[in-house]
Structure 1
Amino acid sequence: MAERSTALLEQPEGRAGEAPARIPRGRGATALAVGLVRTARPRQWIKNVLVVAAPAAAGELASRHTVGQLAVVFILFTAAASAVYLINDALDAEADRAHPVKCRRPVAAGEVPVPVAYAVGALLAAATSTAAAVLCNPLTAALLTAYVVMQLAYCVRLKHVLVVDLAVVTTGFLMRAMIGGVALSIPLSRWFLITTGFGALFMVAAKRYSEAVEMADADGATRALLTSYSTGYLRFVWQLAAGVAVLGYCLWALESGGTANGSLLPWRQLSVIAFILAVLRYAVFADRGTAGAPEEVVLRDRPLAVIGLVWLAMYGMAVVDL
């Protein structure tokens, strides 16, 4: 009887007659860590490669210092974006549960508690700004802080304001493209800012258009603002943005009349062909309403990837005057 009483005392609390569950102590922590990483959107980290854009456009990728500094900036921006994703998912947990796809996100699914998502997001946000000031320069830290503040304002309020929501998301992409130049004190040309800004608006508006098509029969359950945009208006925005991005790129390419410094071919001008083809290829998915996940379109469409590589090769040869 003594042994039986001792065994009963060692059992965890539960319903009478229920066998005690044997759960390894580390499993809960591991599941939480995996959920936090998933909430940080690893697939979307590819967008942060844009930090290389300004130094690459200026032909400043040759030195180890530059590459090392860009690696630091990439990590810092990824951490800042992850902080925003964590806080955003905590804020949108209830709404995401009504979405056919977003209901699987760890916070919405209950894998990551809402308070934990808030706490980790806040810590990451504070750490990235501090690290940027120490490892880069004050202007980089200011830009990262502005990004986090703007994105949090978007999560709380600005995503419910017509047109402003598109501008904020676009500005986030533009900041990614700017921060590499800011960290390395590289001047940013007007053509770079125009092309990058309107190229980002093209992808953002195409994403919104795809979401509007997808949620057409769901009464805007997840993103109420989509019911205020017509699909015709969003189509107009991404078409306008694509046109301005192409125009800005063409003006950059045609600034020099022909080959420069003895280059074999006018790579700047020729790169216009690949750039326009890439825009047209992406527009196929936008027109179908299947550009809701830009990173998946870029990674999974082989023709678009090939066109992108050809453009990158031509652009690189134009920058280094081969």
Structure 2
Amino acid sequence: MSEATLDSPIEAAPDITAAQEFRAAVEADTAPAVRPFRLKALPGGLIRNARPRQWVKNVLVLAAPGAAGMLTHSHVLRQVGIVFVLFCAAASAIYFLNDAMDVEADRAHPTKRNRPIAAGIVPLPVAYLCAALLAGGAITGALLLCNTPTAIALGCYLVMQFLYCTGLKHILVVDLAFVTSGFLIRAMIGGLAAGIQLSQWFLITTGFAALFMVAAKRYSELVNMGDKVGSSRKVLAEYSDSYLRFVWQASAAVTVLSYCLWSSDHTGNADTALRQITVLPFVFAILRYAVFADRGAAEAPENVVLKDRPLLLLGAIWAGLYGFSVLGTV
């Protein structure tokens, strides 16, 4: 990546700075020693390892009810709220499991070495216990508070992520498919909990949008790790930057095409034109995110989405237009 590439109006964005700091940490390669266990630090370490910042991804449970225009129904909102909490518990269970199994690899990573388990703040037995309790609680809660399809979807997520953590993440392309499936299940499960029929276009669009973000994340990791690419995530060493660039570009194209077809798949409705207009902010949002992907600054998708003001504005415009369009048809 040339210096000229970074000299643009977006260079002050938080994600570019984060990418530069990441590369500096890789070059410095100053791994701190594992800290001695202290009981006083354990609660804070558990909270950090649950990664509440990552829970923003679980807002995707609103996707299916939102696309169907059902978020104004109190029953739907209640079910979506419950499934959001349950998915946060399930996701945190996987974070504990993954970090416990990857503890040695994380200690070789310039930023992951500071995670509570890798740093010795959370002992391995405690991490495995937390993973089991959170996963069991999520499935039990889905059976008692939602319905069987929701529990099955949540169970599939946990099983797939377990298989991913225990070896499939080291298989070329399979790792992309499994991470993408996690986002797709998030987008589906809100609809399952509320008993909403899922559109084929909804599934195609969300699936390829997830693949776009996952491939962009892997591409950014590959670019930023440089010569140390295999020290933290072994499968990255088997990818080439040109291949990952191809994947996120192709998936972005399919995402845009499928959304255009989805927005036009409402012939006879008075709000078809308004829904078609939502294509504009949607496409520009994809293009804006692609800027960060192209620069290797999309390693943390939640930072790109939440800290880039133009992207937030495009998202707000899209949500407003789409909201008006679906409310006019229900």
Please show how residues 1-322 of structure 1 align to structure 2 within 5 Å: 28-256=38-266, 260-261=269-270, 263=271, 266-321=273-328
- The size of the alignment, in residue pairs, is 293
- Give the SS at the match of 1:213: helix
- Give the SS at the match of 1:221: helix
Identity of aligned residues (%): 60
Unaligned runs of 5+ in 1: 1-26
Unaligned runs of 5+ in 2: 1-36
Q: 1:86-131: CA deviations, max 9, x gaps? A: 0100001110000001001000011111111011111111111011
The code of the aligned residue for 1:279 comes to I
The code of the aligned residue for 2:167 comes to R
**What displacement does 1:321 show?**
2.0
The code of the aligned residue for 1:152 comes to F
- Give the SS at the match of 1:266: helix
Tell me the TM-score normalized by structure 2.
0.86
Q: Aligned partners of 1:285 and 1:321: how far apart in 2?
A: 35
Tell me the TM-score normalized by structure 1.
0.88
Q: Aligned partners of 1:169 and 1:30: how far apart in 2?
A: 34
* RMSD of aligned Cα (Å): 1.5
Q: Aligned partners of 2:308 and 2:253: how far apart in 1?
A: 22
**What displacement does 1:67 show?**
1.1
Q: 1:159-186: CA deviations, max 9, x gaps? A: 0011110000000000000000111110
Aligned counterpart, 2:6? none
Please say which of residues 299-308 and 62-71 is displaced more in the overlay: 62-71
Larger Rg: 1
